[in-house]
Amino acid sequence: MPRIVLAVAAFIGLAVFRLGRVLLGAVALWMLAGPVWSVLALASLLLFRWSAPIRLGILLGAVMLLHWWWIAAALLAAPRLLLMLPGYLSTLIARIRHPRPLWRQPVGT
């Protein structure tokens, strides 16, 4: 029984966190860009699951309204950034260290 209660509490906590982020993004876009852009960003999130405008609103809201540092605001806007950054850096270093060959591929392959 306690596992179920813990799972429900974790689910509710995650839902509150996500809704709070969306609310922060919508309020920040409303204050900085106007109500039309805020409604368009919310509509794009709900209808098309395109979260870039809301993430930009979260970033701007955390920096301008909550007075956070930009790196902490970026982590709030994109929480998976810490997990993806090492992969991006290793890919960049690999492309620099091992560039693609300059010759063309044979036609038959």
- Map residue 97 onto helix, strand or coil: helix
Question: Which of 12, 35, 25 minimizes the C-alpha distance to 64?
Answer: 25
pLDDT in tens, the chain (109 residues): 689 999 999 999 999 999 999 999 999 999 988 999 999 998 988 889 888 889 999 999 999 988 999 999 998 888 888 899 899 999 999 988 888 777 777 776 6
* Domain range summary for the chain, segments of one domain joined by +: 2-97
Check residue 90 and give its pLDDT: 93
In this prediction, residue 5 carries a pLDDT of: 93
pTM across the whole model? 0.72
DSSP code of residue 34? -
Q: Which of 72, 61, 50 is nearest to 25 (CA)?
A: 61
